[in-house]
Amino acid sequence: MEFLDTETRRQLGFDQVWSQIRPASSLGRARTRQAGAFGKGQAAELEQELTRLERICADLKEDPKQADNLHFLLGTVRDIGLSIKRSRQGIILDDTEFYEIKKLLYTAEKIQWELERLQWTFLLPEPLEQCASCREALSIGQGGQESFYISDAYNKELAEIRQERVMLESALAKGRAAVDNKLIQTLGRLLSMEGKIAVSVGEREKIARLQEIPELEKVQETADIVTFQLIENETEARMKQKLGKVRETEEGLKEQIRRELSQKVAEHSSRLDKVLEQLASLDLTVAKGRFSAEIGGIKPKLCTEPAIQIEAGRHLLLEEEVRLAGRNYTPLSLRISPGVTLITGPNMGGKTASLRTIGLLIAMAQHGLLVPAQGLEFSPRDFIRAHLATAAIPKGLSAFAGEVSFLRDVMERSREDGLILVDEIAHGTNPVEGAAVAQAIIEYLIEERTITVITTHFPALPRVKGVYHLRVKGLDRDRLRRVQADSLQRCIDYRLEEADPSTVQGSDAAIVAEALGLDEAVIARARELLEPSMNPEERDSTDEQSVISTG
């Protein structure tokens, strides 16, 4: 079973948060897409990753711009995996591929220097692979430039044939250049690409001058235009022919060098693959570090005792929503352990938000990210599964059937160190039967290793033996009386507190309904119905369900 399934990632908002990690290179981005969580058995590796991020974060906090150059360099890294693969298959690479490989190796060297400058060499278990001999092979006779060309130094024969080619080219160009010079002096013009020059028939003086140039001959005369062309003498024709052959030989020699260089690349292919691997991993780690710094993340503490303790944890997406709405965000603090934790409280009281926050923080931490909280201590989980009110209903199933199929799957693994988050358990069916099913499930899960957090309105569930019960502090009634109904959310204290069975929570429902302007007679009747022998706890929950949900 994977650590997070697609539906849980979506419901927790993990994908959205993860997409905010932006490596600079395509390699790093691919790595981000493939990255999974650290498994329970990889606690040591996770601890190392978190420690690395904590160190980067501390540096970035001091000077957020100090890693900009590293980010820039990583951004110039290109995925040359295909060329490496081609070389391994015995294919002859082309000059652009040699350039890319050489450039990558130069970049890797600069990145290594940059890591040393930043004192961030701890980000890689070993220094970046330099493939010095491969780089040397791609740099022969090129004066230490990052560009690539097949220089004369690769092959003596090539140098000679090139010399011959250049001589022929210059000899041919010389004839043309001589004519061009004459033309510039007399007409201020040059021969065209085809070696032609045209003048208007009326320009007799110019025509006369052109006729005086022995290397030119008149090739065309129309009513308006006279055209001259550079005469190709026999020597030039022979030189051209020779030039064609010389170029062919040169190309053959260059191809031979490309073959040899491709073999060289193939010999180094595993080391080149390693550079790519190192760069991808480095890019992702740096991006995670930058992200962690941006969100003001702290390093989670891993513990062996199976528990999760959150101190002022924030769900990044919810926090942003609340901030945009101009309200204050209430962070989450709690400690939960194996068995079942129930969260109760009024609608809009943040119960679902609590589940999402717990799930997201653990998911982030186990993907090796620092977390937005004042403190997080947890034992790594085997899996996280969430079924929230926003869950997508599988095709062909009712909402209740969808939930049951979710519960069936997770209960099969309840002996593992999981984290199961269930929002409003069994609320999609008959309340009496739903409560019974929910109670049976809780009784089953209560003894298991997995940590389960459930929100509910069923009044009987908190009384199940062994359940740890948390509730939302709830409405500030005095404040509600003073402010407008549309400020209802400002009147809720979203903090969780351990529920004390001996205290009685008042009827928030009637107050809210009144604040929202429900007919006075209806409110009075509701209060009358609530009066009789009902247990305060039951009364509380029933009211929330029936009345506050309209708000």
The nearer residue to other proteins, 121 or 192, going by C-beta atoms, is 192
* Shortest Cβ 144–other proteins spacing (Å): 14
Q: Which two tokens stand for residue 123?
A: 């980000």
**Structure token pair of residue 311:** 């101190």
Determine which residue in the list 180, 236, 277, 319 makes contact with other proteins, applying CB under 8 A. Answer: 180
Least Cβ distance, residue 155 to other proteins (angstroms): 14
Residue 382 near residue 417 (C-beta atoms within 8 A): yes
Based on CB atoms, which residue is closest to other proteins, 169 or 277? 169
Q: How far is CA 468 from CA 335, 342, 343, 465, 485, in A?
A: 10, 6, 9, 9, 33
Rounded Cα distance, 442 and 436, in Å: 10
Buried b or exposed e, range 524-550, using 16+ CB within 10 angstroms: eebeeebeeeeeebebbbbbbbebbee
Closest to other proteins by CB, 132 or 184: 184
Task: Name the residue nearer to other proteins (CB basis): 166 or 392.
Answer: 166
94 binds other proteins (CB under 8 A): yes
CB 139 → other proteins: shortest distance, Å?
A: 13
Contact with other proteins (CB under 8 A) among 148, 291, 383, 468: 148
Token pair for 456: 């509910």
Contact pick of 41, 90, 141, 202 for other proteins (by CB under 8 A): 202
Do residues 344 and 459 touch, judged by C-beta distance below 8 A? no
Q: Using CA atoms, how far apart are residues 548 and 343, in angstroms rounded to an integer?
A: 17
Site residues for other proteins, window 53-92 (CB under 8 A)?
78
Q: Which of 15, 251, 321, 412 binds other proteins (CB under 8 A)?
A: 251
Q: Identify which of residues 246 and 287 has a Cβ nearer to other proteins in the complex.
A: 246
Contact 475, 492 (CB under 8 A): yes
Window 207-226: contact mask with other proteins (x via CB under 8 A): ---------------x-xx-
Task: Name the β-bridge partners of 210.
Answer: none
Cα→Cα distances 226→98, 177, 197, 230, 423, Å: 50, 22, 8, 14, 91
Q: Interface with other proteins by CB under 8 A: which range of 229-237, 246-254, 340-348, 530-538?
A: 246-254
188 forms part of the interface with other proteins (CB under 8 A): yes
- Separation CA 395–CA 417 (nearest Å): 29
Tell me the closest approach of the beta carbon of residue 24 to other proteins, in angstroms.
Answer: 13
Q: Which is nearer to other proteins, 83 or 352 (CB)?
A: 83
| Contact footprint for other proteins (CB under 8 A) | 78, 94-96, 98-100, 103, 147-150, 165, 169, 173, 180, 184, 187-190, 192-193, 197-200, 202, 222, 224-225, 247, 250-251
